[in-house]
Structure 1
Amino acid sequence: MPTQRLSAETTPPAPPNAMIIFGAAGDLTKRKLIPALFHLCHGNLLPDTFAVVGLDRLEMDDTAFQAMMAEEVQRNVGSAWNAETWARLCDRLHYMQGNITDQATYIELCERLSGIDAERGTDGNYLFYLAVPPSLFGDITRLLGAVGLTAECENDWRRVIIEKPFGIDLDSAKALNRMLHETLDEDQIYRIDHYLGKETVQNIMVFRFSNGFIEPLWNRQHIDHVQITVAESVGVEHRGPYYDTAGALRDMIPNHLLVLLGFLGMEPPNSFDSQAVRDEINKVLDAVHPLTPEQVLTNAVRGQYGEGVMPNGEKVPAYRSSPGVDPNSRTETFAALKLTMDNWRWAGVPFYLRTGKRLTAQYTEVVIQFKRAPKIMFKDADTAQMNPDMLVLRIQPNEGIQISFGAKIPGPRMRVGTVNMDFCYADYFGNAPATGYETLIYDCMNGDATLFKHADTVEKGWEIVQSVQDVWSALPARDFPNYAAGTWGPAAAGDLLKNDGRLWRRITTPDEPT
């Protein structure tokens, strides 16, 4: 019977705290943060002693802010809307107008929080969510520190959540970390990656380490290679000016894909303690071979989409026609890498990573392809349909796990075909509405940093892709656009595997036959 995921029946409410959102009138707050709080509230995972303070430049009072959020939450949670839940959350929403680069705003914020502590019983525990551009992180943390809002006492805590990008290269990532550490201890900084809020990502550790039949196979003796795909069917939409300075490599691989690689490749931690897990992920990234400039030419692929037709028949324009994008842009909207590791478990096992915009489907998955079994006993049998065994971890959509293996096709002849066993989260645990931020916000309130990035993890990710950035900057692409919107990317991405005698797993969309 399906079980509600976000529920105080199995999980205690968070401790008393006030959540201060910088950029409270922005898109992230409207679409993700307040809806996530709504879902937590509906599951009774927020304490009665909880409050939100939204801070932005717009002039409005608490009532206007509550009305704005009511409209946005109702739009974004859809059928999960519950008037009683909203009434409970709405009563805890406060708003403050201010200039986030002016110290006077922070002095006023201190006074406002003191009043909320007294009124709401939030105990001086503050979670600052910086839903603002990274260029403002330094000013905000410095000014919070200047008025004492980052100073922790024995009985209270102060934590800061920041959103990616955590730099644009290794040097800027190091500079950002130094700037944050001027005011905050590392254990106060929570670098959020919403991919880690997805159940299937968290389940990678559980699936590997709680099932006795899996871990003995999770090594170079049994695994042929690993594929990580993060495909987006959307274009750059309103992010053109930002995306044209970033590209697919910077935007996705150091942040999302390498963290997935870390969970897949890590050794068993001593416990699920946040420091133990993060240490093991860092060891994996340490073991990844950064590509040499020569290897970049053969083991890295970039692409940019041209006009095309999506599977639903929609005709879409080329990337270069997007608002805010240079009409002669050399920015990649697709990136693929072949990476290897220098450690005992994974020596000789390639990890293929790909991500891109305007691909055939919105789809994220991990594929573990096992080595082929010897066919000597089947030498007289029809094995034309005998494919390698695969384990597929579906991150989104349709979260779940699929195992493909060989079985006898019924009939008088010995014929072997591939069959699938499929587990779908929604079938067993219910399809609880979520934005991907609920678990992460809840964990931060509880001081659990397991699913957040450590400074070392951020820097190691940039170290891995730095040589690719350098070569691609020195040698601008001359063949852009090199794939049509609505396809799976440039042909060279397929060659990345074909040259090794392998293929990307065929991902079928709902409109395609399996």
Structure 2
Amino acid sequence: MQTDSSFTFVLFGGTGDLSMRKILPALFEAHRAGGMLADSGKIVAVARHAANRDEYLQWVNEHVKPHVSKKAVDEAAWTSFLARIEFVKIDLGNPEDFVQLRDAVQDLPGIRVFYLATGPSLFVPICHALASVGLNENARIVLEKPLGYDLKSSNAINDAVGEIFAEEQIYRIDHYLGKEPVQNLLALRFGNALFEPLWRREWVESIQITIAEELGVEARGDFYDNTGALRDMVQNHLLQLLSIVAMEPPHSMDSDSVRDEKLRVLRALKPIDPRDIGKVAVRGQYHSGVIRGNSVPAYATEQGVKPDSSTETFVALKVEIENWRWAGVPFFLRTGKRLADRVAEIVVNFRAVPHSALGASALRAGANRLVIRLQPNESIRLYCLAKQPGEGMNLASVHLDLAFDQFFREGQMEAYQRLLLDVINGRLALFVRRDEQEAAWRWVEPILNEWQASIKPPKPYAAGTWGPAAASAMLAQHDTCWLEEEN
């Protein structure tokens, strides 16, 4: 991916955890690859926790290097990468400080990208301050999640940002959309005659989408206790993955064609009646347990968490899409912290054959299954039945693998790297449009409201397990189970 697009990348929250772990490592990988970033491109870090450029670069040396790829760091590439970086010390609460930022970037070439790796409470003040010094022209702005606390607050942020930046200037980032297997899902569906005819209610029994984490809330207790898994993961990541899985073939891969089809899926989600939430939604909270031999504390004892907290750390949902392609097919969404493994995957269970002369095993739903692993070890695996060697017609499950790191010799591009390059080059397809975000919030809100009003606490589950038993029971009602339970 060669580019001549000159740019000035302004990173707000330049000393924050996201900048250290994801954004600067991604920019370094693009720089090291050669040809992905214009030689004239500059990175301007904005923070108040460093005194000057030298101190900031020392901070980058200490905190970014551990998060670059496992390959040994090429010191020449690292030195030339640091040469791209400038630093401006700013108090984001003081609009007058933005004059210093304007002076620092006004003579730098190319499109300006403003990446807001800050808390959402700072999004609107930063945008107003940028406009006050004329930096909202010839610019793109990247907004990290969470964008609001509910539909009303999300609309308030979008309204305020939209007064300063046009919609085509706003890049609402969801890093799961930048993952290689998600891109390959589009290629698999729309580039192969093999799958598209099967991608519908007549042939699909059910679909599971899981994002599971072994980690707890770490140092984010204050934030997480006011957010919860439904806001933190379902409203954005899981519903975005669902829309990619279920969307109709777009007219083309341009940004609005893809996002139009995703929006149609989100608008077709069957509204959840508050009276049915207990049947189709499970919320849980982890208690103490053991993960990989290590004892971990209960959520309620984590730093920054209220001892009597009713915040959910686990969500499982049964979702239906009311359209011709998917009517009657259950989509099961699941996410949680302190689960048994770190995994993100999409599981498409195809229907069993209608009649088999080969025995009962060929009639088992899920015998044909597509598993798209997003993390770790990104891959696509297709399961089918084959005859076991030997006497008799005994069937066994076998699988065909596409392991990207083995098949493609060139290194894979990390999600943030792909998305940052898309921002610099003005490609919007993998970013969330405002109407998508509104549709997602509108569908989620009845669940939020019901849980907030409920006197029932989240269902407990031991850390190191796969969540409350109620999540398995919900699938059992449809004669199916989560993938790891079958294995």
User: In 1, distance between residues paired with 2:361 and 2:142?
Assistant: 57
**Range with greater deviation from structure 2 (370-379 or 279-288):** 370-379
- Distance verdict in 2 for CA 1:483–1:258, change over 3 Å: same
Aligned to 1:37: 27
CA deviation after TM superposition for structure 1 residue 73, in Å: 2.4
Aligned to 2:328: 348
Aligned to 2:92: 100
- Superposition pairs of residues 435-446 of structure 1, within 5 angstroms: 435-446=414-425
Match of 1:207 among 160, 182, 188: 188
Contact kept in structure 2, 1:287 and 1:343, CA below 8 Å: yes
SS at match of 2:242: helix
Aligned to 1:502: 480
User: In 2, distance between residues paired with 1:449 and 1:225?
Assistant: 30
Match of 2:102 among 105, 110, 113: 110
Write the deviation string for residues 18-63 of structure 1: whole angstroms up to 9, x where unpaired.
0111111111111111111110001111111111111111242222
Match of 2:81 among 82, 89, 94: 89
Write the deviation string for residues 201-246 of structure 1: whole angstroms up to 9, x where unpaired.
1211111101110101000111011100100011010110111111
SS at match of 2:357: helix
- Superposition pairs of residues 58-457 of structure 1, within 5 angstroms: 58-77=49-68, 78-115=70-107, 117=108, 122-123=109-110, 125-151=111-137, 157-310=138-291, 312-379=292-359, 388-430=367-409, 432=411, 435-457=414-436
Contact kept in structure 2, 1:382 and 1:414, CA below 8 Å: no
User: In 2, distance between residues paired with 1:128 and 1:475?
Assistant: 41
User: In 1, distance between residues paired with 2:335 and 2:170?
Assistant: 28
- Provide structure 2 residue ranges, at least 5 long, that are not aligned to the other structure: none
User: In 2, distance between residues paired with 1:240 and 1:354?
Assistant: 21
Write the deviation string for residues 283-322 of structure 1: whole angstroms up to 9, x where unpaired.
1101111201112121000101111111x21111111111
Query: Given the two structures, how large is their TM-score scaled by the length of structure 1?
Result: 0.91
**What one-letter code is carried by the residue in structure 2 that aligns with 1:291?**
I
- Distance verdict in 2 for CA 1:131–1:383, change over 3 Å: closer
SS at match of 1:337: strand
Contact kept in structure 2, 1:306 and 1:481, CA below 8 Å: no
CA deviation after TM superposition for structure 1 residue 67, in Å: 2.0
CA deviation after TM superposition for structure 1 residue 418, in Å: 1.3
CA deviation after TM superposition for structure 1 residue 402, in Å: 0.7
Matched, 1:462 2:441: yes
Contact kept in structure 1, 2:282 and 2:317, CA below 8 Å: yes
**What one-letter code is carried by the residue in structure 2 that aligns with 1:363?**
V
Matched, 1:16 2:6: yes
- Distance verdict in 2 for CA 1:387–1:351, change over 3 Å: closer
**What one-letter code is carried by the residue in structure 1 that aligns with 2:20?**
K
CA deviation after TM superposition for structure 1 residue 383, in Å: 5.7
Match of 2:37 among 27, 43, 46: 46
CA deviation after TM superposition for structure 1 residue 431, in Å: 7.5
- Distance verdict in 2 for CA 1:130–1:261, change over 3 Å: same
User: In 2, distance between residues paired with 1:109 and 1:357?
Assistant: 39
**What one-letter code is carried by the residue in structure 2 that aligns with 1:444?**
V
SS at match of 2:227: helix
**Range with greater deviation from structure 2 (41-50 or 69-78):** 69-78
User: In 2, distance between residues paired with 1:410 and 1:476?
Assistant: 57
Write the deviation string for residues 169-189 of structure 1: whole angstroms up to 9, x where unpaired.
111111111111111100111
Aligned to 2:455: 476
SS at match of 1:180: helix
Runs of at least 4 residues off by over 6 Å:
none
User: In 2, distance between residues paired with 1:84 and 1:324?
Assistant: 42
Contact kept in structure 2, 1:359 and 1:486, CA below 8 Å: yes
User: In 1, distance between residues paired with 2:485 and 2:98?
Assistant: 50
**What one-letter code is carried by the residue in structure 2 that aligns with 1:344?**
W
User: In 2, distance between residues paired with 1:304 and 1:245?
Assistant: 14
User: In 2, distance between residues paired with 1:392 and 1:386?
Assistant: 14
User: In 2, distance between residues paired with 1:99 and 1:251?
Assistant: 27
- Provide structure 1 residue ranges, at least 5 long, that are not aligned to the other structure: 1-10, 152-156, 509-513
CA deviation after TM superposition for structure 1 residue 412, in Å: 1.9
User: In 1, distance between residues paired with 2:413 and 2:279?
Assistant: 40
User: In 1, distance between residues paired with 2:378 and 2:121?
Assistant: 35
**What one-letter code is carried by the residue in structure 2 that aligns with 1:114?**
Q
SS at match of 2:140: strand
**What one-letter code is carried by the residue in structure 1 that aligns with 2:480?**
R
User: In 1, distance between residues paired with 2:443 and 2:459?
Assistant: 26
Over aligned residue pairs, what C-alpha RMSD do you find? 1.7
CA deviation after TM superposition for structure 1 residue 484, in Å: 0.4
- Distance verdict in 2 for CA 1:58–1:204, change over 3 Å: same
**What one-letter code is carried by the residue in structure 2 that aligns with 1:32?**
K
Aligned to 1:5: none
Aligned to 1:4: none
Query: Given the two structures, how large is their TM-score scaled by the length of structure 2?
Result: 0.96
Contact kept in structure 1, 2:185 and 2:245, CA below 8 Å: yes
Contact kept in structure 2, 1:165 and 1:251, CA below 8 Å: yes
Aligned to 1:6: none
Identity %: 41
Contact kept in structure 2, 1:24 and 1:54, CA below 8 Å: yes
SS at match of 1:467: helix
**What one-letter code is carried by the residue in structure 1 that aligns with 2:11?**
I
SS at match of 1:238: coil
**Range with greater deviation from structure 2 (25-34 or 268-277):** 25-34
**What one-letter code is carried by the residue in structure 1 that aligns with 2:52?**
D
User: In 2, distance between residues paired with 1:433 and 1:309?
Assistant: 33
SS at match of 2:328: coil
